[in-house]
Amino acid sequence: MNITLINDINAPELFSFVRATEPQLREQGIFLAETASVILRALEAEYEPLSMLVETGRMDVEAGPVFEAVEKYCGREKLESMPVYSAPRETVTGIIGYHLVRGLWMTLKRKPETPTEEFCQGKKRIAVMYDVVNPANVGAIFRSAAALGMDGVLLTHPSVDPLTRRVSRVSMGTVFQIPWAKATREESEGLTLVKRLQSLGFKTVAMALTEDSVSVDNSDIRANGKLAVMLGTEGTGLPKEVIAASDYRVMIPMYHGVDSLNVAAASAISFWELLK
């Protein structure tokens, strides 16, 4: 393999791993994945690996399965030509989040974006994130959507990018296991996305506490062939006009005077109930 030993965290070879911002990575058409489990799921989903950074002490045990996966999914030639940078522990500990990622990073090539209409084809249950910008919430929602049987996740344009390091890590790599797409800036404005989903045959379900909200375990809602479950950002929730234009408004019954849940927790309950 093409392994290079690095002793300086500021070495130019490590720019994408250490100093590049998420927007800079996106401009280059790449993203950075952390931890062996996340990287393995990205490779299984046929994302093309570009380069790798490994703490020297983790080269055999943790990086070994990753190297095997690169050869399995991309071929021996890719494994032999892909730049692999090895750095000692004292060097990589300067990387943000080192203690969470266990000394293993990979840059991978992004895939072409999927248009909303193409993404929706053949799907019966999708989760829709409206301007959800907290990476931890987005990652957790992806994990719930994948685990609880949703067919895909659609995000409005202002929502955080699912391929950012923290989202993919919090999701435990499920961003690579369930289809997703981002609506365009124009589709994300006003009621455009709601109407688009309705025109594609989806009944839109707004998770919101309103006077006419029904319980999330409503059997009439479950009976619909195609549902788009819409989740708003933490704090402000869904835009009022989106709630009003939705086919259903749904709430989760609560006790002890509590009127809301974290959006990630609410997503898990709603996915479970609406998929029964």
Written as one string, the DSSP assignment of 42-101 is: HHHTTPPEEEEEEEGGGTTTTHHHHHHHHHHHH-HHHHHHSEEEEE-HHHHTTSTTHHHH
The pLDDT value recorded for residue 261 is 85
Q: What are phi and psi of 98, to 5 degrees?
A: -55, -45
Sorted by sequence, the CB contacts under 8 Å of residue 42 that are 6+ apart come out as: 33, 106, 108, 168, 173, 176
Q: Parallel, antiparallel, or unpaired: how do β-strands 152-155 and 180-182 relate?
A: parallel
**Does domain 116-274 match CATH 3.40.1280.10?**
yes
pLDDT digits (tens, 9 = 90+) for 64-108: 999 999 999 999 999 999 999 998 888 877 776 655 567 889 999
pTM of the predicted model over 0.85: yes
**Spatial contact of 197 and 228, defined as CB atoms under 8 Å apart:** yes
Q: What pLDDT score does 101 carry?
A: 65
- Please check the confidence at residue 274 and state whether its pLDDT lies above 90: no
Q: What is the DSSP letter of 238?
A: S
Q: Over the stretch 190-229, which tens digit does the pLDDT of each residue have?
A: 999 999 999 999 999 999 988 889 999 999 999 999 999 9
CA nearest to 9, candidates 80, 98, 109: 98
Q: Are strands 30-34 and 104-109 parallel, antiparallel or unpaired?
A: antiparallel
Q: Please give the class, per CATH, of domain 2-109.
A: alpha beta
Q: What span, in angstroms and rounded, lies between the C-alpha atoms of 192 and 162? A: 22
Indicate the burial class of 39 (C-beta count within 10 angstroms; 0-12, 13-18, 19 or more). buried
In the chain, domain spans = 2-109, 116-274
Summarize pLDDT for 234-268 with one digit per residue, the tens: 778 899 999 999 999 999 888 988 878 899 999 99
pLDDT: which is higher, 233 or 27: 27
Residue from 263, 147, 157 nearest 206 by CA: 263
pLDDT digits (tens, 9 = 90+) for 106-165: 999 999 999 999 999 999 999 999 999 999 999 999 999 999 999 999 999 999 999 999
105 close to 32: Cβ distance less than 8 angstroms: yes
